[in-house]
Structure 1
């Protein structure tokens, strides 16, 4: 009971949305402590004070993210977007290499492989991705949880199939880290944005790489990728960082100032408690949909619930103070730590009308 009270009190102290916000799969709410940190960071710039303290936030975020996904901090790069990270991975592949993907996965996971023009990109249904790895597959690229409907990839089966055929794996955890247990060490490369389930501002994304960097070239790196960044400001970088920091992109300092506080909150709440809370709400919504005669897209164990045929009701729901998404006709609701059973019931009541 005390644990639940602590969870609830921490959450209520940080969030006071003016709507029923069930749209974390698009972007998460900012905690109050994060908003305060953003204001403080902006004030440094406005008042002409040194920004050096903000660089410490980047390293604090890197370390916190490393703990969250279970890898050494030396394997984490701090970038700006999943698409940029995907582009670096795509550039590392030889011409003619086969990349296996899931049909209709999120564009940032796919497009850099397609625009190469000289790769063999093969798409299969998500449920068949592990069995579709074959001799000659160089890389499997997939989202851990699908953006459109919340379906979860069988990453354990994918890992084993990839190892059996000598393929590398690249997993986008953007719709998973923050509520789904993640072990980035199981995969060659992973990426995540900061502004969804991690509750941070836009402008940051993390990449994890193997200790040997997996054959990647830091094509997008600048001075921050140097072993000593402040000695790498002019001319070519003489010595790249010995860690994954060699893949860093110039840091959006305000973003990391805020994200540091968001990651602190997630650690205070505990990933197991957040997961249990989120999934209980998602299961409540699934049960309510069944009572109304609606069948959601099968996605057991997901905090994202989508149902066909109801996407067109998104504007009506927004007018009623309930924020969800319309994804290709699917009504998508995403449940996170600031949501409550009463909010689930309110959504079901409106859908019942």
Structure 2
């Protein structure tokens, strides 16, 4: 039986020390092979029904990771498009509560309405800032800039107490942090970061009653019988959350099917433990060097103030990290090792 380490070794052989999953995840070997096979089918003019089947397998796999049935999952291209649907459903003057400096794809659709009251507060004060006039609380599970994790149970309880809905962006958590999407009203996530898929996909989880949303982007794939919905107005929308689908990027879903299968084989709890052990090793090493990261306990993302300027130097040394607002951001995922952590610390100490 393969171990966690042996299975990962068969899938990844990065040429650099790659600690930048918060920007883009590495593609497993099986994912590369799946995309190449999908390209071959398209180039050869062969039947591509299997690629549409891949999309449904991906929907079911994400549902398992998120803890919801596949019928609660829609698939599109970006988090922003689903934020736009939520924004469009709010009445004029409704208050949307967000965290300061949260990711633009999450917050910007609410600003684009122009007639909503969007209020931003520090992340640690989000729950206590919910008030009776708050209609929606929108927050990233894990902050992109620095890895801080939102106190989701507190946010959920505060929102319920005031009759507000909740909308989570899990783009920086899906793939390493266990999800409980059923505890919140809406959740979106991209597939190209911690889920290690190709670009071109976003997931969306909504309630069985659709949460009052109108499928403004609905095309033929949003029909209950998609292939019977190709011409003229769609006569019958999907009875499930699939009514919020947009036309699938078939090459992307061919790859995602393989990537999500790998995560399920490894087990999300094992991935979570692996990633956190590496992040904590980095935090301990930073302390020895006299650096203090942004406090983000329990996060696979570690952000170090005033070290962002060293990103070009690190890249030249073959270590890929990010510079975010002057902070050095390192993100640790299943393909990383203690050697990667120690190499980063070694270069930072020089």
Q: TM-score scaled by structure 1?
A: 0.98
Matched residues in 2 for 1:127 and 1:259: separation? 34
Most deviating of 250-259 and 42-51: 42-51
Report how far residue 41 of structure 1 moved. Answer: 0.2
Matched residues in 1 for 2:58 and 2:127: separation? 32
Is 1:340 equivalent to 2:330 in the alignment?
Answer: no
Is 1:225 equivalent to 2:222 in the alignment?
Answer: yes
Gaps of 5+ in 1: none
Matched residues in 2 for 1:21 and 1:175: separation? 16
**Paired positions, count:** 350
Is 1:38 equivalent to 2:41 in the alignment?
Answer: no
Query: Counterpart of 1:252?
Result: 249
Q: Is the partner of 1:18 in helix, strand or coil?
A: coil
Matched residues in 1 for 2:72 and 2:121: separation? 30
Report how far residue 221 of structure 1 moved. Answer: 1.3
Matched residues in 2 for 1:140 and 1:94: separation? 15
Q: TM-score scaled by structure 2?
A: 0.99
Matched residues in 2 for 1:259 and 1:312: separation? 34
Query: Counterpart of 2:98?
Result: 101
Matched residues in 2 for 1:85 and 1:194: separation? 14
Query: Counterpart of 1:268?
Result: 265
Report how far residue 49 of structure 1 moved. Answer: 1.1
Q: Is the partner of 2:59 in helix, strand or coil?
A: helix
Q: 1:84 aligns with which of 81, 91, 94?
A: 81
Matched residues in 2 for 1:186 and 1:52: separation? 35
Report how far residue 242 of structure 1 moved. Answer: 0.0
Query: Counterpart of 1:287?
Result: 284
Query: Counterpart of 1:127?
Result: 124
Query: Counterpart of 2:47?
Result: 50
The CA RMSD over aligned residues, in Å, is 0.7
**Which deviations, in whole Å up to 9, do the C-alpha atoms of 1:169-217 show, x marking residues without a partner?**
0000000011111100010000010000001000011000001000000
Matched residues in 1 for 2:298 and 2:131: separation? 28
Is 1:174 equivalent to 2:165 in the alignment?
Answer: no
Q: Is the partner of 2:129 in helix, strand or coil?
A: coil
Q: 1:328 aligns with which of 299, 322, 325?
A: 325
Moved over 6 A (4+): none
Matched residues in 2 for 1:340 and 1:111: separation? 36
**Which deviations, in whole Å up to 9, do the C-alpha atoms of 1:225-252 show, x marking residues without a partner?**
0000000000010000000000001100
Report how far residue 110 of structure 1 moved. Answer: 0.5
Q: 1:201 aligns with which of 195, 198, 201?
A: 198
Report how far residue 72 of structure 1 moved. Answer: 1.3
Report how far residue 51 of structure 1 moved. Answer: 1.6
Report how far residue 50 of structure 1 moved. Answer: 1.7
- 1:2-81 equivalences in 2 (<5 Å): 6-81=3-78
